[in-house]
Structure 1
Amino acid sequence: MHTFPVIIFAVLVRWCLSLWKYSGEAIPPMFGDFEAQRHWMEICYHLPPSQWYANSTSNNLLYWGLDYPPLTGYHSYVCGAVAQLIDSQFIALNTSHGFESYNLKLFMRATVLTSDILIYFSSTFLYVRTLLSRHPTTQRSLFFALLLLPSAILLIDYCHFQFNTVSLGLALLAYTMLANSYDVIGCIFFSLSLNYKQMEIYHALPFFCYLLGRAFKTRYEYIVFYAISVIVTFVVIWYPFLDTTSSAVQVLKRIFPIERGLFEDKVASVWCVLDIIIKIRVLFSQKYLVYVCFVSTIIALLPSCIHLIRKPTIHNLMLSLANSSLTFFLFSFHVHEKSILLAVLPATFLLPFYPYVMNWFIAIASFSLFPLLQREGNIIPALSMTIMFYHIANEFLFKTSVISLPMKHTHILSMIGCMILSVLPLVQQPPTHLPDLWAVLNAGYCCVHFCGFLYYFHYLQFTSHRKKFIDTKGALILKPIKTE
């Protein structure tokens, strides 16, 4: 496999994206997600873990209080320790708020890239080497390149500024371990992923159902080993917060902030689009909406999860991960537009098997992020990255696919709609009485697509037994699919 050239190209693309603006650049008083990540390094380095989630004179929770699980805090501590060695001004306690020197920007960009290479690059390389080892070098190199260039994920991490590749990379490691029958190690890696970002709960139920189905078909006592590995991992990570019940509860309140409401920005979720029509946030109490979201999400998850328990194959697991994450995005409480990245990861890995529909989905997912990226001045890299990924996948994966005429026509019309809605905000200001018109149209347009994709992804999972994706030695069969 031509690993080195692929890695160099992937790094170059990331560094080019990092040259653009980031969230909140030079915009006081909160400065955006870049400042949030920097501030967490400041807090986690200077304060003991017991004070990371507690409001104090040194940790004003209203100013980007830490709201991710403890593993994010440990990561921030390590980055903060390095920052302290380079320049103590980067994370000076209480006096570095809004600090934006050139050296700090360079350092912060480097932390994202380094974390990405250590976790996501490594997990992707391991996946390709172990599961696709018996396939032609050119195929493996192409797939490796596609996995390293998911447009939506890179746009958020390297333009907007976050560390999504860490949690997604850990989830990918968990999947790879399960695919190689290292189930206990897979449990540990997924527990780490969940303890880095709580949004990984979008992937939790498929992992649980797959392991449960495997245990039912092999030995029931395996469930005990799975449970022990998860419990031990959680206890080790949460140990500094288990001294008192109130301390652990404080962490849970921070990472599951129910008080933030059903949604904030215009998101392509069912509830956000529905609220445009019937104002459900006004008509119903927040407590009631929490229950509605919970029940509707669970009901929508059941078909995929029950099927996975009955047929726990590694391919069904990946399809169920796509179904679960998309279901959570559409129906759960307080969804951010960036949460679509949880569905982009499994869709990227399903590209070789369903190239047409998965590339289409990834393009729509990237398009759903355009209002956010446009507000930050990153519409050019957003368009460029989306088109580049779409073209690469189209050029190398679509050629042997035979697509039905109605799907092809629908796809063409869908892409034309995306182009129109991408250009409109650039050439026409919205009416003064409808300042969010373009964002609302984007959310509604993408939500309709996501609902259609959710239906079709379920169809793919329920009919996956008709196609052979696993060979006799357990490796994935990487061949172009003739029909989708």
Structure 2
Amino acid sequence: MLMRALGDHAATLLIIAVSLLIRLGVGLHSYSGAGLPPRYGDYEAQRHWMEVTVHLPIQDWYKNTTDNNLDYWGLDYPPISAYQSWLYGKAIQHAEPEAIALLISRGYETSSSKTTMRWSVVISDILVYIPAVLACRRAFLKDATAEQRAWMLFAALLQPAAVLIDHGHFQYNGISLGFAAGAAAAVATGKEMLGSALFCLSLNHKQMSMYYAPAFFAHLLGRCLQRPTFLSKVGAVARLGFVVCATFACVWGPFLVPPSRAVGVLSRLAPLRRGLFEDYVANFWCATSPLIKWKQLFTQQELVRLCAGATLLTLLPAVVQQIRSPSEKGLLLCMASSAFSFFLFSYQVHEKSILLALLPVTLLAPELPALAAWLPAVAAFSVYPLLKKDGLSLAYVALLLLWAAFTLPAQANRTAVTGRTWMHGLTSCGLPLIFRTSVGLALGVHAAAAVLEPPKRLPYIFDALITALSFLHFAAAALYVQILMWRQGHEKSQ
């Protein structure tokens, strides 16, 4: 009702303004590793990368030297993250040089430097993520109502997990996610070469964007195969291949000579030495580890192969569907399906990687209103052990209450863009009951953790319960997205 009364432009400005205010509000809370020497946390990692990139020559950014001890938060993201660290580091150096002084600024946490660091994440969203979401809205919701367009914008900009992780815990996921969203928007509007270049930028900002690579590959290959002649098919593939190679060459240029330098950077990006999983991540391997001791049963090499096989097997149906029948919304569904496969089954998954599955689901919010309302809440619940450790419990509760107040009640009677929601079948089977059960279980775990002492033999039992419960939700969502993909492809072919 409010969005209809405001109008499209006013609603857009209001949602963006609210999303920025909430980001700034979350930034007033604690962050990863605050006041916890000797290594602190992700906040310190980002600050340290600024210190390294500003003071050291580019050939030493990923290299273990006297001034760059890689055991202390060595750079382990691709070059665009390093360039971003250099750019923000230069700005912070101008404002407060002590914040990134070489070797002597570890754990630097003045209020002014923290404010500057927090603003750098907000500015990243303003420059990359928010414009990309707006581009997706234009590309995918051409025939939508103002209310549906507002709902999509709200879902993409205010889903709690992304806000809490980037602006609470402290990360710059909005940049890589923004490039990926911009790539999807470009491809959907026929700008396939631009879309390929933007996705390469996403991949070169954070390697976890690889979760989307099968979806973009399948969709773009499917489009190329729809060309009328063999030569036109080959030409289309060649043009995209050239764009990919040229983009990578531009990004990696400073690291390509000598070739050993590029190999050194690549070795920093592969997380194989870190084990199957860390902490409590709501994927298959972690959720089943209390029953099956994967790390004891298999060697590291065997686990890597096992994870790769399971990931490829589960993402294959979505890839095949997009090669056979590529479509605009099919691309977003394939991105979600591929991201779920990687999150649930690949090697060395971080709990924050669930953001990659959330992005395409929220971009499809008018088509999948119930899933777009429910899944972000589950995702925030799944990362609560991380948020609790960072001192973000209050922000977590506040954002979930805000999310529930504005999304869950409104979804019962919401219709999709097409006038017939793909969620209709699930809704008629008792979606309100599913919601109530899901919320009840989550509240039950939180209540038990608040009032009960965990057994001495199982000190992390409540974190394990959060992991197991979230995994069941994500597995069900992944299966449902696969079903939607094939149903959408079948409807398109008729």
Among 67, 71, 76, the residue aligned to 1:58: 67
In 2 relative to 1, CA 399–237 (structure 1 residues): closer, same or farther, beyond 3 Å? same
Q: Which residue of 2 aligns with 1:321?
A: 335
Among 98, 101, 108, the residue aligned to 2:110: 101
* Equivalent AA in structure 1 for residue 93 of structure 2: Q
Deviation for aligned residue 1:387: 2.9
Does residue 178 (structure 1) correspond to residue 187 (structure 2)? The answer is yes
* Equivalent AA in structure 2 for residue 295 of structure 1: G
Secondary structure, aligned partner of 2:291 = helix
- Looking at structure 1, the residues matched to 258 and 162 of structure 2 have their Cα atoms a distance apart, in angstroms, of 37
Deviation for aligned residue 1:64: 0.4
Deviations 1:175-214 (CA, angstroms, capped at 9, x unpaired): 0001110000000000000000000000011001000000
- Looking at structure 2, the residues matched to 313 and 391 of structure 1 have their Cα atoms a distance apart, in angstroms, of 33
Does residue 373 (structure 1) correspond to residue 387 (structure 2)? The answer is yes
Does residue 208 (structure 1) correspond to residue 232 (structure 2)? The answer is no
Among 272, 285, 295, the residue aligned to 2:299: 285
Among 108, 131, 135, the residue aligned to 1:126: 135
Secondary structure, aligned partner of 1:196 = coil
1:152–1:386 contact (8 Å) kept in structure 2: no
Deviation for aligned residue 1:427: 2.4
Among 40, 43, 56, the residue aligned to 1:31: 40
Does residue 411 (structure 1) correspond to residue 435 (structure 2)? The answer is yes
In 2 relative to 1, CA 294–446 (structure 1 residues): closer, same or farther, beyond 3 Å? same
- Looking at structure 1, the residues matched to 369 and 88 of structure 2 have their Cα atoms a distance apart, in angstroms, of 38
Deviation for aligned residue 1:23: 0.4
* Equivalent AA in structure 2 for residue 338 of structure 1: K
Secondary structure, aligned partner of 2:289 = helix
**Which residues in structure 2 correspond to 1:390-409 (within 5 Å)?**
390-400=404-414, 403-409=427-433
1:352–1:397 contact (8 Å) kept in structure 2: no
- Looking at structure 1, the residues matched to 262 and 246 of structure 2 have their Cα atoms a distance apart, in angstroms, of 16
**Which residues in structure 2 correspond to 1:28-427 (within 5 Å)?**
28-218=37-227, 219-220=232-233, 221-400=235-414, 403-427=427-451
Does residue 10 (structure 1) correspond to residue 19 (structure 2)? The answer is yes
- Looking at structure 2, the residues matched to 240 and 350 of structure 1 have their Cα atoms a distance apart, in angstroms, of 38
- Looking at structure 2, the residues matched to 14 and 467 of structure 1 have their Cα atoms a distance apart, in angstroms, of 40
Deviation for aligned residue 1:274: 2.1
- Looking at structure 2, the residues matched to 383 and 234 of structure 1 have their Cα atoms a distance apart, in angstroms, of 41
How many residue pairs end up in the alignment? 469
* Equivalent AA in structure 2 for residue 183 of structure 1: E
2:179–2:198 contact (8 Å) kept in structure 1: yes
Deviation for aligned residue 1:92: 0.2
- Looking at structure 2, the residues matched to 437 and 199 of structure 1 have their Cα atoms a distance apart, in angstroms, of 29
Q: Could you tell me which runs of 5 or more consecutive residues in structure 1 were left unpaired when the two chains were aligned.
A: 469-484
Q: Which residue of 1 aligns with 2:421?
A: none
Q: Could you tell me which runs of 5 or more consecutive residues in structure 2 were left unpaired when the two chains were aligned.
A: 1-8, 416-423
2:140–2:329 contact (8 Å) kept in structure 1: no
* Equivalent AA in structure 2 for residue 448 of structure 1: L
- Looking at structure 1, the residues matched to 365 and 404 of structure 2 have their Cα atoms a distance apart, in angstroms, of 11
Does residue 453 (structure 1) correspond to residue 477 (structure 2)? The answer is yes
- Looking at structure 1, the residues matched to 92 and 43 of structure 2 have their Cα atoms a distance apart, in angstroms, of 15
In 2 relative to 1, CA 67–243 (structure 1 residues): closer, same or farther, beyond 3 Å? same
* TM-score (normalised: structure 1): 0.94
- Looking at structure 2, the residues matched to 295 and 324 of structure 1 have their Cα atoms a distance apart, in angstroms, of 14
- Looking at structure 2, the residues matched to 129 and 284 of structure 1 have their Cα atoms a distance apart, in angstroms, of 48
Deviations 1:298-345 (CA, angstroms, capped at 9, x unpaired): 111111100110010011111111110011011000011111111110
Q: Which residue of 2 aligns with 1:432?
A: 456
Q: Percent of pairs identical after alignment? A: 38
Deviations 1:340-398 (CA, angstroms, capped at 9, x unpaired): 11111011112211111232222211110111111122112112212322332224443
Deviations 1:120-148 (CA, angstroms, capped at 9, x unpaired): 11111222245435544343233323221
Secondary structure, aligned partner of 2:408 = helix
* Equivalent AA in structure 1 for residue 433 of structure 2: H
- Looking at structure 2, the residues matched to 257 and 122 of structure 1 have their Cα atoms a distance apart, in angstroms, of 31
1:152–1:366 contact (8 Å) kept in structure 2: yes
* Equivalent AA in structure 1 for residue 460 of structure 2: D
- Looking at structure 2, the residues matched to 16 and 170 of structure 1 have their Cα atoms a distance apart, in angstroms, of 25
* TM-score (normalised: structure 2): 0.92
Q: Which moved more, 1:241-250 or 1:154-163?
A: 241-250
Deviation for aligned residue 1:465: 4.0
2:176–2:203 contact (8 Å) kept in structure 1: yes
- Looking at structure 2, the residues matched to 211 and 154 of structure 1 have their Cα atoms a distance apart, in angstroms, of 31
Deviation for aligned residue 1:466: 6.1
